[in-house]
Structure 1
Amino acid sequence: MKHPYKTREGGATVTIFVPYDCKNHCPFCINKGEYADLTGFSAEKICQSIRTMDAITPYCDFVFTGGEPFANLESLQMMLDTIPTTHKVYINTTLPVSEHQSEDDIVAFTERNKDKITCINISRHMQRYVVESNDALLSRLAVPFRINCVLFKDYPSEGLVPYLERFLKVPGASIQFRFDYTATTPENLYDQEGDRILQDLKKIAPYTGLDGCRMRCGFHFDYKGMELTYHKTLPYSTIVETDPKDGVTYDILYDILIKQNGDIHSDWTGVLMDVDAYRKVVFEPYDLHWIEGSARA
């Protein structure tokens, strides 16, 4: 750590990398290489780190990713049980169904954890990279869900409307299209005129507004009453700034990572966090705000 830490009120989001792999090979996934060697992976150590983060920021958000969180429901349950109900919990998943795990197993898991899980973010891409479970499963889930779709490189823009119409038929669905964040820079984060995805979406859905902060932004649309967001974020999660009020330079953290072996990182770029220093973190109001338009009613 070069500077003292600062983060938003409530604490930086804590993303947990589950200690088991998925069978997928999505071309835009930058995590896959981390699962080539599972040596040292430990759900128990992850649980220890969850307790540490809860003790420091008892109201931060937790996000499970991977890997595939739903590939091992027993281990996922153990980690979920470690998180007190003061936290919001999100799970990034392809919602896998196999001969060893049925749709009923997944539905039952969401029923058991409906007071714990805030939202399940389900990957469904326009170009299919994985075997997908049935769309009908989505409306059976006992918790809120959102469809996440990365528009990767030369995505087929003619497929946008059929894709949206597909999920318009699923009760409770909302869509978040995501820019390939490995290609996001501070210069193009808020770019509108040169953003092909944004221009394509404006052709097919009414634009309702923009929210954003230093690190990420969301362009909002309404597609026939279904909530639609286009999300962009930087490929790192630390902003270095000098506070004009006290003259102190801070590492401002937006995301904290618990890795597969339980190590706690302060950025997506492999930086270990100084846990003792984070216990003295300075809080500031979250700078995410509406820039254009207004919040969806």
Structure 2
Amino acid sequence: MNYPYKTREGGATITIFVPYDCRNHCPFCINKGEYANPTGFSVEKICESIERMNAVTPYCDYVFTGGEPLANLDSLQKMLDKIPSTHKVYINTTLPVSEYQSEEDVVTFTRRNRDKITCINVSRHMQQYVVESNDQLLTRLAVPFRINCVLYQDYPAWALIPYLDRFGSIPGSSVQFRFDYTATTPDNLYEETGDQILQDLKKIAVYTGLEGCRMRCGFHFDYRGLEVTYHKTLPYSTIVEQDAHSGVTYAILYDILIKQNGDIHSDWDGTPLNLEAYRSAVFEAHDLKWLTQIA
């Protein structure tokens, strides 16, 4: 059934899948298959979709993912240039350098876009699945950064402390550990007692509180002055819910996707966004909030 849309103030986050692949093969990546056949991939079509979405929600957040956004700096720049300064922009990346792209190229790119990029989320997993650039490159970035680490299946819990010590020594670092979201359900989203990752973190870091909403949550810690978050999110971006006051049933959107060919989806399963209906979306206060906070 089709329901009217509801989303947070400012609009749902727009995630852009860049139209070029990475060279990595992370076992938890569900996007790799999409890049096997690049027929129809288009920077120009994505730029057109950015313009359409900006006309509807000119203050929403953008996330670039893939693939590898920083694998083609020229194409990424074209897409970034279409996003006005009213938006926050985040980039998910492994921070790649190669014979085709030097550290200096990456640093120069961040300098050129320091007023455009809100944060770079750098993937650094405890079990190495990719060729990593030097940690020293993190200190040269001209924009804020955060370290993202998926704790996948039988992660080495003994390596948590060395991992946190590694990034705790880098100025400006924070770390977000991520649960394998393909295994997240409404029943285990807020589970604590049976969550091994959460219990492992509580053994080595100071727990400072929980924030969350219908879709995702974050358990916060302090590790010797390093900000650490354990993040869990559901594997979809739309929740159908009846409004308690009006009785109207809404499709509540948390993420909108611009795919590699420019198509606009309202969920990760290929559901197309009804753009005309989204123009009339009802807005609600951002529901991500502190649920518990320990001084």
Q: TM (normalized to structure 1)?
A: 0.98
Deviation at 1:268, TM superposition (A): 1.0
- SS of structure 2 residue aligned to 1:47: helix
1:224 CA drift (Å): 0.6
Q: Determine helix, strand or coil for the equivalent of 2:199.
A: helix
Q: Name the counterpart of 1:211.
A: 211
Does the residue aligned with 2:222 lie in a helix, a strand or coil? strand
Post-superposition offset of 1:2 = 1.0
Which residue in 2 is equivalent to 1:199?
199
The aligned counterpart of 2:115 is 115
> Partners in 1 of 2:141 and 2:288 — Cα distance?
29
Partner SS state of residue 163, structure 1: helix
- Unmatched runs of 5 consecutive residues or more in structure 1: none
Q: Which residue of 1 aligns with 2:153?
A: 153
Equivalent pairs: percent with the same residue? 76
1:137-176 matches, within 5 Å, as 137-176=137-176
Amino acid at match of 2:120: I
CA distance in 1, matches of 2:226, 2:99: 33
For residues 194 and 269 of structure 1, what CA distance do their matches in structure 2 show?
A: 29
Partners of 1:270 and 1:197 lie apart in 2 by 31
State the partner residue of 2:90: 90
The structural deviation recorded for 1:165 is 0.5
Partner of 2:262: 262
2:31 aligns with 31
Q: Give the Cα–Cα distance (whole angstroms) in 1 for the partners of residues 139 and 172 of structure 2.
A: 7
Question: Unmatched 5+ residue regions in structure 2?
Answer: none
User: Which amino acid in structure 1 is aligned with residue 203 of structure 2?
Assistant: K
Q: How large is the RMSD of aligned CA atoms in angstroms?
A: 0.8
Q: Which amino acid aligns with 2:267?
A: D
- Measured in 1, the distance between the counterparts of 2:175 and 2:283 equals 31
Partner letter of residue 41 of structure 2?
A: F
What is the letter of the counterpart of residue 206 of structure 1? V
Deviation by residue 1:186-222 (Cα, 9 ceiling, x = unmatched)? 0000000000000000000000000000000000000
AA of the residue aligned to 1:87:
H
Match of 1:275 in 2: 275
Give the aligned residue type for 2:251: D
Corresponding residue of 1:65: 65
The alignment status of 1:182 with 2:174, answered yes or no, reads: no
TM superposition shift of 1:14: 0.2
CA distance in 2, matches of 1:269, 1:209: 32
- The one-letter code matched in structure 1 to 2:91 is I
Query: Aligned partners of 2:111 and 2:12: how far apart in 1?
Result: 28
Runs of 4+ with >3 A deviation: none
Give, in whole Å, the separation in 2 of the partners of 1:271 and 1:103: 38
2: CA distance between counterparts of 1:21 and 1:29? 12
Displacement of 1:244 in angstroms is 2.0
- 1:42-71 CA-to-partner distances (Å, cap 9, x unmatched) read 000000000111110000000000000000
SS at match of 1:161: helix
User: How many corresponding residue pairs?
Assistant: 295
**In 1: Cα distance, 2:17 partner to 2:10 partner:** 21
